Amino acid sequence: MIRSSLELLAVSRRWYEILRTKKNTDELQDFLSKVDELRFVGTGEGEFWSGQAVRDGVSGFFAEIPAPVVFEEVEAEAFENGDTGWSSFVHKIQFVGFDEAVFYRTVLIFVLEGAAWKIINRHASVPTPNIELVGKEQLAIQKLVDAAREDGPELVQTEGLASVLFTDVEGSTTLAEALGDQRWSVLIENHFQVLAAIIEKHHGQFVKSLGDGTLSVFPSAKEALTAAVKIQKAIASASEEPSFGVRIGIHTGDVVQSRGDFFGTVVNKASRITTVGAAGEILVSDATRAMVGGRTDFSFFEIEPRLLKGLRGHHVLYRLDWQD
């Protein structure tokens, strides 16, 4: 099943950060698959390479490009489907000595090798009008896009500090099989409605459901923590059967909002924190813990630092005590 991938967004952004800063270009090789089917397609004539030549030459290829004076992310999205995935980015880039910026469109195709995503195909392009290539403007798709924009909001991308909260139902697959699709869909939809009401009451935004989980954002860590406590208490006090356990993860930092969704390493880390928790737990990052300082209305217990998939190093986490 195809689904949005915050993990691949984070991996892709690390790749582009090296290209932006021109630091540690040797690390680019670590992003690439080791299979012979590896492909690298550039914007210049003849820039179509494969296999070992790509791995050996990728560092030098990008090292030869001057450091940009402008390198801005305009659009970004990523998806995964089993052991494969892909990301699409548009960057506004301007190099020293050039008067204007150019919009680069890049697609990275990934395969899952062991526990790590690796690039198996990179394809970049710069806009060249079709009228110059084929003598005719091809407007069929653009007309549909323009019509959709007339009926809805245009792309708006903003950045800001937020606390990101994920929820996840533990053992949902087994429970869904036992209940059947119809009963489970009713149960999980009621669950989402309960969560949405609590989240909105505490000034949060219920962004979306992700299978049996949810993603929400809050303007303050205090509101996110309070909502998390209320969610766990509501689930614990529910009389409807079957009952189930929910794990919650929270992290705070700068997020990017685009097309009503939220992206960034902060979102990815909040998701990973959730996965290491257990049913009934609220785990928060050290950043979220620091935001509420010495407030006495929250009780935290530091747990053993954890490895989080796709993120480097060990991460300090706290368990929030929500029971009276």
C-alpha separations of 21 from 17, 33, 36, 58, 63 in Å: 6, 23, 29, 15, 10
> Burial of 154 by CB count in 10 Å (0-12 exposed, 13-18 middle, 19+ buried)?
exposed
Helices assigned H by DSSP within the chain: 6-21, 52-63, 130-133, 140-151, 172-179, 181-201, 221-237, 265-275, 286-291
* Contact assessment for residue 95 and residue 66, using Cβ atoms and an 8 Å cutoff: yes
Distance between CA atoms of residues 42 and 132, nearest Å: 19
Can you give the pLDDT at residue 153? 44
Can you give the pLDDT at residue 128? 64
pLDDT, one tens digit for every residue, the chain (324 residues): 788 888 898 899 999 998 888 888 889 999 999 999 999 998 877 788 889 888 888 888 888 888 888 888 888 888 999 899 999 999 988 887 788 888 899 999 999 998 889 999 999 988 765 555 445 554 554 554 455 445 544 444 456 789 999 999 988 878 888 888 778 888 888 899 999 999 999 999 998 887 788 999 999 999 999 999 999 999 998 877 777 889 999 999 988 877 677 878 889 899 999 999 999 999 999 999 999 887 778 999 999 999 888 788 899 999 999 886
Can you give the pLDDT at residue 134? 45
Can you give the pLDDT at residue 130? 52
> Burial of 244 by CB count in 10 Å (0-12 exposed, 13-18 middle, 19+ buried)?
middle
- End-to-end CA, the chain: 41
* Contact assessment for residue 242 and residue 223, using Cβ atoms and an 8 Å cutoff: no
| Beta-bridge partner residues of 164 | 217, 251
Can you give the pLDDT at residue 74? 84
Q: DSSP string spanning 219-243? A: SSHHHHHHHHHHHHHHHHH--SSS-
